[in-house]
Amino acid sequence: MSLDSLSEFIDCLDRAGELVRITHPVSVDLELCEIADRVMKSPDGGKALLFENVTLFDGSRSAYPVAINLYGSMRRMAMSLGVEDLDSIGGRISELLEMKVPEGLIGKLSLLPRLMEVGKFPPRVRGGKAPSQEVVWRGDEVDLGKLPIIKCWPEDGGPYITLPMVISKDPTRGIRNVGMYRVQVMGPRTLAMHWQRHKVGAAHWREMAERGETMPVCIAVGADPASIYSASAPLPPNIDEFLFAGFLRKEPVSLVKALTCDLEVPAEADFVIEGYIDPRDPLITEGPFGDHTGFYSLADLYPQVHVTAVTMRQRPVYATTIVGRPPMEDYYLGHATERIFLPLLKLTIPEVVDYHMPAEGIFHNLVFVSIDKQYPGQAYKVMNALWGQGLMSLAKVLVIVDKDVNVRDPQEAWWIALNNIDPERDARFTMGPVDVLDHASRAFTYGSKMGIDATRKWPEEGFTREWPKLIEMDDATKRKVDAMWAKLGISEGSQWSTGRGPR
Ligand SMILES: Cc1cc2nc3c(=O)[nH]c(=O)nc-3n(C[C@H](O)[C@H](O)[C@H](O)COP(=O)(O)O)c2cc1C
DSSP track, 228-273: HHHHTS---TTS-HHHHHHHHHTSPPEEEE-SSSS-EEETT-SEEE
Query: Which strand ranges, in their side-by-side order, compose the sheet holding 254-257?
Result: 124-125, 254-257, 264-266
In the reported structure, the alpha carbon of residue 180 is separated from the centroid of ligand 1 by a whole-number distance in angstroms of 4
**Mean of pLDDT over the chain:** 94
Give the mean pLDDT of 146-151.
Answer: 98
For residue 183, name the pLDDT band (cuts at 50, 70, 90): very high
In the reported structure, the alpha carbon of residue 272 is separated from the centroid of ligand 1 by a whole-number distance in angstroms of 18
Residue 86 Cα distances to 49, 90, 91, angstroms: 23, 7, 9
Given ligand 1 and candidates 182, 194, 221, 241, which is best to mutate, with the most ligand atoms within 8 Å of its CB? 182
In the reported structure, the alpha carbon of residue 436 is separated from the centroid of ligand 1 by a whole-number distance in angstroms of 11
Atom number in ligand 1 closest to CA 323: 1
How many Cβ atoms sit within 10 Å of the Cβ of residue 272? 30
* Contact by Cβ (8 Å): 311, 272: yes
Percent of the chain with pLDDT over 90: 90
Nearest residue CA, atom 25 of ligand 1?
Answer: 234
Given ligand 1 and candidates 232, 330, 344, which is best to mutate, with the most ligand atoms within 8 Å of its CB? 232
Tell me, yes or no, if 291 is annotated catalytic: yes
Output the pLDDT for position 96: 79
In the reported structure, the alpha carbon of residue 435 is separated from the centroid of ligand 1 by a whole-number distance in angstroms of 11
In the reported structure, the alpha carbon of residue 166 is separated from the centroid of ligand 1 by a whole-number distance in angstroms of 10
Atom number in ligand 1 closest to CA 182: 8
Atom number in ligand 1 closest to CA 289: 8
Atom number in ligand 1 closest to CA 333: 31
Atom number in ligand 1 closest to CA 163: 1
Phi-psi group of 66: left, alpha or beta (phi > 0 → left; psi -120 to 50 → alpha; rest → beta) = beta
Given ligand 1 and candidates 196, 199, 392, which is best to mutate, with the most ligand atoms within 8 Å of its CB? 199
Residue 304 Cα distances to 140, 307, 310, 447, angstroms: 17, 10, 16, 28
Beta bridge partners, 6, equal none
Nearest residue CA, atom 18 of ligand 1?
Answer: 232
Nearest residue CA, atom 7 of ligand 1?
Answer: 181
Output the pLDDT for position 501: 46
Atom number in ligand 1 closest to CA 178: 26
The set of protein residues with a Cβ atom below 6 angstroms from ligand 1 is 162, 177, 179-182, 194-196, 199-201, 232-235, 321, 323, 330, 333, 391
Of 15-24, 34-43, 316-325, 493-502, where does mean pLDDT reach its minimum?
Answer: 493-502
In the reported structure, the alpha carbon of residue 298 is separated from the centroid of ligand 1 by a whole-number distance in angstroms of 17
Output the pLDDT for position 33: 98
Nearest residue CA, atom 12 of ligand 1?
Answer: 181
In the reported structure, the alpha carbon of residue 432 is separated from the centroid of ligand 1 by a whole-number distance in angstroms of 20
As a whole number of angstroms, the distance between CA 360 and CA 358 comes to: 6
The residue among 388, 238, 249, 220 whose CA lies nearest residue 318 is 220
Q: At what angle do helices 112-119 and 87-97 cross, to 10 degrees?
A: 120
In the reported structure, the alpha carbon of residue 468 is separated from the centroid of ligand 1 by a whole-number distance in angstroms of 44
Residue 409: its H or E element: none
Q: At what angle do helices 87-97 and 329-348 cross, to 10 degrees?
A: 20
pLDDT at 400 over 80: yes
Residue 370, φ and ψ in degrees, nearest 5:
-105, 140
Q: What is the pLDDT of residues 259-292, one digit of tens each?
A: 999 999 999 999 999 999 999 999 999 999 999 9
* Contact by Cβ (8 Å): 332, 73: yes
Nearest residue CA, atom 26 of ligand 1?
Answer: 179
In the reported structure, the alpha carbon of residue 14 is separated from the centroid of ligand 1 by a whole-number distance in angstroms of 28
Nearest residue CA, atom 1 of ligand 1?
Answer: 330
pLDDT at 208 over 70: yes
- Beta-strand ranges (E) seen in 183-234 are 183-187, 190-193, 215-221
Atom number in ligand 1 closest to CA 180: 17
Q: HSE on the CB side for 4, CA within 13 Å?
A: 11
Residue 365 Cα distances to 121, 180, 384, 399, 449, angstroms: 34, 20, 16, 11, 9
Q: Please say whether the dihedral angle defined by the alpha carbons of residues 93, 94, 100 and 105, taken in this order, is positive or negative.
A: negative
Output the pLDDT for position 44: 92
Q: What is the pLDDT of residues 444-499, one digit of tens each?
A: 999 999 999 999 999 999 999 999 999 999 999 999 999 999 999 997 665 445 55
For residue 500, name the pLDDT band (cuts at 50, 70, 90): very low
Q: Is 386 exposed, middle or buried (0-12, 13-18, 19+ CB in 10 A)?
A: buried
Can you tell me whether residue 323 is helix, strand or coil?
coil
Q: What string of DSSP letters covers 354-392?
A: EEE--GGGTTTTEEEEEE---STTHHHHHHHHHTTSGGG
Choice among 4, 37, 291, 354 that is catalytic:
291
Give the mean pLDDT of 172-197.
Answer: 98
Find out whether the peptide bond into 343 is cis, omega within 30 degrees of 0. Answer: no
Nearest residue CA, atom 13 of ligand 1?
Answer: 181
Residue 339: its H or E element: helix 329-348
Give the mean pLDDT of 384-403.
Answer: 97
Q: What is the pLDDT of residues 349-378, one digit of tens each?
A: 999 999 999 999 998 999 999 999 999 999
Nearest residue CA, atom 5 of ligand 1?
Answer: 181
Given ligand 1 and candidates 180, 227, 296, 364, which is best to mutate, with the most ligand atoms within 8 Å of its CB? 180
Q: What is the pLDDT of residues 25-77, one digit of tens each?
A: 999 999 999 999 999 999 999 999 999 999 999 999 999 999 999 999 999 99
Residue 427: its H or E element: strand 427-433
Q: What is the pLDDT of residues 90-145, one digit of tens each?
A: 888 888 777 676 777 777 777 766 666 777 899 999 998 999 999 999 999 999 99
